[in-house]
């Protein structure tokens, strides 16, 4: 853990706060006004000596201030002048394309941060002129950007970090706020893509990014409370006593319904206002809009994403650039908070309200035989209140085929007369622990509560016999998910 210390000459020094000897030296140095100069010279020399020995070989190699490499600022300026060897290489390979950093260079100069970025060991995520231009920012107006110095410091990390040292998760910037690194598909810094990495400088390294990063200054709850677009959402959060979680908890990703989305919901339901919605119902609705962790728009993939409600929302990118969460369209994406990220959506997402047994009963009479079997085996209460479970649910016709019968009432009688142990073993072979959505499945062995069955996704068959019904996959319940099959599975 390093601490930054700035002396009277405005030189920035870093030392390890866990080193007791260095701490003692620093405490002594801070009494500078009471010491003769000869002692100050001695202490300075001693401190520098200890600092030199405490640096690792890697730090010395990556941040040798006496090397012949240009500083970070000089590296950026060399691209602007076309003098960089990397820029020349790109020119040769890609015609006229060369990233330039005129806006960034001017911003550093005008905020008087250029000298800081030249002298201190840093990793800089450098937005190109094209990245600034996408926001309408040029060399002519960059100095008019509010909180420009804070924005620039949000692009720097106080140590040298090469691309192969990056890991998924938050990284603290010199600004004090975190950027979120994601290396699952290329390298992303928040929502910005690293387009060129590991440009070495005398005092660190530069990674080129395609978007400007903006530091957050409000929590998720703070953003909702300060925006006219989310005032109803904020009122709902307060009513459900979730304000503390969205202020102090996280990080979270919130799919945030706009005011209009809430008004549309109230018009389509018996509720006239938020006050009419029962507290437990409102809480579950709100939790259904919250995902654990940071998920920026370019990290979204088609499929189900679990929420704090327990059930999952479905992300659909098939109509890109439009993004849908269930049937709700993302209107504004990547609003970063200090404890997460917000995506504004145009409809309130409604979570499942029935448990597995209630959900199966709602298909009545399609699953009446399955429910008869569950009750006969004494599993009805478990499937109502336990879980979460994933149930591969045979239809009534599947049970009739299995029993070689055609009458439902006769089939119910036969099922109720079966040996309980045999019936229980059959039913448990249809149940998987946890919520397993179709996007989570892969061909091969699937572990159930009573052994394994073999799944072939290419033919949607289980054990070469039962077939998954495509239009009846991912039926969500409050305590699990149902996939409908057309045959009874035998362990």
In the predicted structure, residue 367 carries a pLDDT above the cut 90 = yes
Residues 376, 418 contacting (CB under 8 angstroms):
yes
Per-residue pLDDT at 17 exceeds 90: no
Query: Is-contact 311 288, C-beta < 8 A?
Result: yes
Distance CA 134, CA 146 (A): 17
Cα within 13 Å of Cα(203), Cβ side: 21
- φ, ψ for residue 477, nearest 5 deg: -125, 170
Domains of the chain (ranges, CATH numbers):
2-54 (no CATH), 72-209 (2.30.180.10), 220-345 (2.30.180.10), 356-485 (2.30.180.10)
| Number of Cβ atoms within 10 Å of the Cβ of 9 | 5
DSSP state of 106: H
426-429 long-range contacts (CB < 8 A, ≥24 apart) are 426/373, 426/488, 426/489, 426/490, 426/491, 427/373, 427/374, 427/377, 427/379, 428/379, 428/491, 429/453, 429/489, 429/490, 429/491
pLDDT > 70 in the chain, percent: 83
Is the pLDDT confidence value at 94 over 50? no
pLDDT band at 63 (very low <50, low <70, confident <90, very high): very low
Across 168-194, average pLDDT: 92
Q: Which residue has the higher pLDDT, 130 or 12?
A: 130
Does the pLDDT value for residue 15 go beyond 70?
A: no
CA-nearest of 349, 307, 311 to 328 is 349
Average pLDDT value for the chain: 85
The dihedral through the CA atoms of 365, 369, 372, 377 has a sign that is negative
Radius of gyration in angstroms for the set of CA atoms belonging to the chain, rounded to a whole number: 30
Which is higher by pLDDT, 308 or 81? 308
Query: What is the pLDDT at residue 133?
Result: 95
The predicted structure's pLDDT at residue 19: 41
Look at residue 386 in the predicted model and tell me its pLDDT.
96
pLDDT tens sequence across 142-166: 999 999 999 999 999 999 999 999 9
pLDDT for 427: 98
Spatial distance between the Cα atoms of 159 and 335, rounded to a whole number of angstroms:
27
Which residue, 88, 119, 334, is CA-closest to 211? 334
350 in Cβ contact with 285 (< 8 Å): yes
Q: Is the pLDDT of residue 81 over 80?
A: no
Is this structure's pTM higher than 0.85? no
Average pLDDT over residues 429-454: 96
Q: What is the pLDDT of residue 64?
A: 53
């Amino acid at each position: 853990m390093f601490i930054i210390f700035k002396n009277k000459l405005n030189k920035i020094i870093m030392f390890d706060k866990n080193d007791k000897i260095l701490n003692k030296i620093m405490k002594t140095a801070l009494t500078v006004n009471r010491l003769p100069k000869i002692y100050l010279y001695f202490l300075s020399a001693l401190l520098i000596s200890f600092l030199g020995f405490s640096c690792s070989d890697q730090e010395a190699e990556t941040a040798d201030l006496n090397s012949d490499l240009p500083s970070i600022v000089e590296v950026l300026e060399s691209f602007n002048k076309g003098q960089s060897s990397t820029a020349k290489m790109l020119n040769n390979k890609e015609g006229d394309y060369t990233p330039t950093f005129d806006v960034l260079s001017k911003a550093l100069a005008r905020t008087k941060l250029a000298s800081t970025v030249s002298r201190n060991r840093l990793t800089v995520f450098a937005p190109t002129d094209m990245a600034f231009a996408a926001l309408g920012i040029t060399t002519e107006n960059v100095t008019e950007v509010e909180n420009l110095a804070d924005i620039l410091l949000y692009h720097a990390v106080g140590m040298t970090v090469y691309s192969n040292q990056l890991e998924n998760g938050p990284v603290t910037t010199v600004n004090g706020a975190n950027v979120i690194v994601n290396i699952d598909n290329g390298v992303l810094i928040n929502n910005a893509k690293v387009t060129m990495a590991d440009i070495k400088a005398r005092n660190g390294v530069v990674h080129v990014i395609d978007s400007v990063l903006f530091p957050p200054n409000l929590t998720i709850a703070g953003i909702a409370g300060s925006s006219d677009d989310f005032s109803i959402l904020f009122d709902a959060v307060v009513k459900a006593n979730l304000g503390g979680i969205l202020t102090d908890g996280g990080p979270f990703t919130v799919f945030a319904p706009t005011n209009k989305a809430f008004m549309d919901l109230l018009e389509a339901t018996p509720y006239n206002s938020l006050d009419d919605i029962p507290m437990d119902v409102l809480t579950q609705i709100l939790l259904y809009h919250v995902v654990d962790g940071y998920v920026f728009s370019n990290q979204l993939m088609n499929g189900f994403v679990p929420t704090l409600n327990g059930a999952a929302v479905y992300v659909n990118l098939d109509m890109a650039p439009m993004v849908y969460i269930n049937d709700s369209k993302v209107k504004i994406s990547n609003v970063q908070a200090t404890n997460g990220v917000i995506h504004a959506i145009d409809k309130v997402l409604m979570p499942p309200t029935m448990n597995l047994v209630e959900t199966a009963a709602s298909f009545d009479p399609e699953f009446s035989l399955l429910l008869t079997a569950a009750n006969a085996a004494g599993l009805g209460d478990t499937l109502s209140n336990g879980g979460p479970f994933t149930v591969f649910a045979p239809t009534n016709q599947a049970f009739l085929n299995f029993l070689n019968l055609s009458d439902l009432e006769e089939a119910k009688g036969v099922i109720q007369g079966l040996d309980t142990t045999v019936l229980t073993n059959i039913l448990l072979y249809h149940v998987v622990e946890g919520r397993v959505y179709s996007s989570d499945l892969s061909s091969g062995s699937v572990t159930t509560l009573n052994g394994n069955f073999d799944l072939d996704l290419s033919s949607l068959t289980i054990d070469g016999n039962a077939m998954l019904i495509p239009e009846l996959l991912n039926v969500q319940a409050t305590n699990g998910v149902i996939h409908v099959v057309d045959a009874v599975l035998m362990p």
